[in-house]
Structure 1
Amino acid sequence: MTPLLFTHSRLFAHAGGFGINLNLLDTNLINLVIVIGVLVWFLRGFLGGILERRRQAILADLSDAEDRLKAANAALAKAQGDLAAAQQKAAQILADGKARAQSVRVESEQRTIEEMARLRQDAVADLNAEAARVTDLLRREAARQAIETALATLPGKLDDAAQARLIDQSIQSLGNG
């Protein structure tokens, strides 16, 4: 019965219809199973090793990338800290500069005021000295004119007896002095 079934299925397949060949030896199904089994067994070790090495390489690359990311984050944090410190230092320098400029300005104004006061005092002293010199000059001139006037009018007003009395009084006042 089996050969007849195979024959009919073969005939049916040749006729252009659909048929199933159930002869395992004829269809090479056993050979295919053996070849596929050997390929799976052989390739599992070969491809498994390749895939495992690839997996290890990917894990190493990921670990390296994570390490570089940590180092980059640490460097970024340090750089940000350095930037903040530099900005704080710059702000301090700016504040110190402004304070120094204000101090210099106030000191300069104070020196200018003191110099102006000194110049004013010098001017007042010069003015007082000039006034004293002019006053002294005017007194001398007034005394000279008074003496000239007295000398000019004195000989006509004094007689010999008055002149002798005047000389005696002058000598006495010199003696008492």
Structure 2
Amino acid sequence: MATPLLPATEGFGVDLDLLNGNLVNLAILIPVLVWFLKGFLGGILSRRREAILQDLNEAESRLSAATNQLEKAQAELAAARETARTILRDGQARADAIRAEGEQRTIAEMARLQDEAKADTDSEARRISNELRRSTAEQAIALTLQDLPDALSPKKQAKLLEATINSLG
């Protein structure tokens, strides 16, 4: 038997026992539940939908900001790479210039040392040549002076000695 909702009225009531209820009770109960749950669940779902949309909008804005930052970072990276290439090229050019300058200095120094060695050799050769001439002349004079007293008369010796002194003096 159905339990009346209101004890004062006995003729009309809602039977909450769904298994034993009739079709009229179900027809009344289902629209009431739909109407009640529609407002309650609809509000919850609407708020959830708004929160999800807001989260999606925030995610899209963060994605856009991150994309902008990535593009900026990639541009800076490209500029840094180009700067590094420029520095590398300049450094290689500078190293080549320094190497070439060092080679030129080395060649010039070697040429200078060769010239000095040749000059020293030429100077030493002249000194030895002059010494040999002087030594040869002294020996010739000594031999001549030894042979001279026997070959010349004292008058010719004095004349020759005077001529030699005048030519040296």
TM-score scaled by length of structure 2: 0.75
Once residues 143 and 42 of structure 2 are traced to their aligned partners in structure 1, the CA distance between those partners, rounded to angstroms, is: 147
Deviation at 1:102, TM superposition (A): 1.3
Summarize the alignment of residues 67-106 of structure 1 with structure 2, pairs less than 5 Å apart: 67-106=61-100
Deviation at 1:73, TM superposition (A): 0.4
Report the equivalent of 1:119. Answer: 113
Higher helix share: 1
Distance 1:54 1:69, change over 3 A: same
Deviation at 1:135, TM superposition (A): 0.8
Please point out which of 23, 38, 62 is paired with 2:56: 62
Once residues 124 and 75 of structure 1 are traced to their aligned partners in structure 2, the CA distance between those partners, rounded to angstroms, is: 72
Residue segments in structure 1 that go unaligned for 5+ positions in a row: 1-25
Report the equivalent of 2:141. Answer: 147
Please point out which of 103, 115, 137 is paired with 1:109: 103
Residue segments in structure 2 that go unaligned for 5+ positions in a row: 1-20
Identity over aligned pairs, percent: 55
Distance 1:115 1:170, change over 3 A: closer
Q: Which has the larger radius of gyration?
A: 1
Superposed CA RMSD in Å reads 2.4
Instruction: In structure 2, give the amino acid aligned to 1:76.
Output: L
Once residues 134 and 162 of structure 2 are traced to their aligned partners in structure 1, the CA distance between those partners, rounded to angstroms, is: 26
